[in-house]
Amino acid sequence: MSKTEQSAKNPFSAADGQGAQATIAALEPKCLSLLTSIYITALVLTMSMASKFIAIGPFNICGATLVFPITYIFNDIFTEVYGYQRSRRIIWMGLGAQAFTGFAYWILGLWPPAPFWHNQEAYMTILGTGPRVAAASLLAYVFGEFTNSIVISKLKFKQGGKGGIKQGWRFLASTIVGEAVDTSIFFPVAFVGIIAWPELSQTMITVYLVKVLYEFVALPVSISIANAIKRQERIDVIDKPEETDYSLARF
């Protein structure tokens, strides 16, 4: 049987399959998978790092503060380059990763330890996040990240997608608002009644300022990465309000 006859009998020929794969590859952003994997890795790391508080001079901050601001930088890049809809999908993926990780830690903590293993108490201290802290973390993440993404999306439209100082301002402004929402939800929900209010409020303010400063210092890097991805992908989405559904519920 000739190749022509085979193709006629089989509409899903190898050539067609290769063509379809090429089309999918052309439509799929090249950098998005890598960026998403780094973003979710940072999110999962914060769950274990949050169990330790560290001192920076006279100030005390949660250990997760060293990594968590990276998620806001990546959220800025996702929304700046790919638009709110793709960013929203990645935020929900991040929530799923955190919930699954927390559930796995919890199940393993309930499992009876081996007779020769005597570190159950240490495990529970570091990874056995209580329901209250877990709920606070997930709530703060959802509302903080979505606020960050919506702010940068709307600012970009208002500014006509301009770069330079205006691009830097929308990156910073979205973090100022998003981190304020995150911090004001997480610490009260997780620690009110456990940590005295004077210490808790000082920690909240310090953590918030560190997160915003983190974003400010990283601005040259985050803007350079976003612009490099735009050139590589040939994508620069500006969300039009009349065409963009800012609902959180959609995936």
| Greatest pairwise CA separation for the chain in angstroms | 84
Q: Has residue 119 been placed in a domain? A: yes
Average pLDDT over residues 191-198: 85
Given a cut of 50, is residue 91 above it in pLDDT?
A: yes
| Span 6-18, pLDDT tens digits | 444 444 344 444 4
Q: Tokens at residue 185, please?
A: 């939800």
Q: Is 44 in the same domain as 117?
A: yes
Q: Has residue 10 been placed in a domain? A: yes
Q: Is 10 in the same domain as 91?
A: no
Percent of the chain with pLDDT over 90: 55
| Span 104-139, pLDDT tens digits | 888 999 999 999 999 999 888 878 766 787 888 899
Task: State which of 27-41, 52-66, 153-167 shows the largest mean pLDDT.
Answer: 153-167
Q: Is 18 in the same domain as 90?
A: no
* The pLDDT of residue 22: 41
- The answer for residues whose C-beta is within 8 angstroms of residue 203's C-beta and 6 or more apart is 53, 60, 61, 62, 187, 195
What mean pLDDT, rounded, does the chain reach?
Answer: 85
- Cα–Cα distance measured from residue 23 to residue 169, given in angstroms and rounded to the nearest whole number: 37
* The pLDDT of residue 177: 96
* The pLDDT of residue 18: 46
Q: Is 42 in the same domain as 91?
A: yes
* The pLDDT of residue 39: 95
Given a cut of 90, is residue 38 above it in pLDDT?
A: yes
Q: Has residue 217 been placed in a domain? A: yes
Q: Has residue 132 been placed in a domain? A: yes
Domain that holds residue 23: 1-30
Domain total for the chain? 2
Q: How many CB atoms lie within 10 A of CB 155?
A: 18
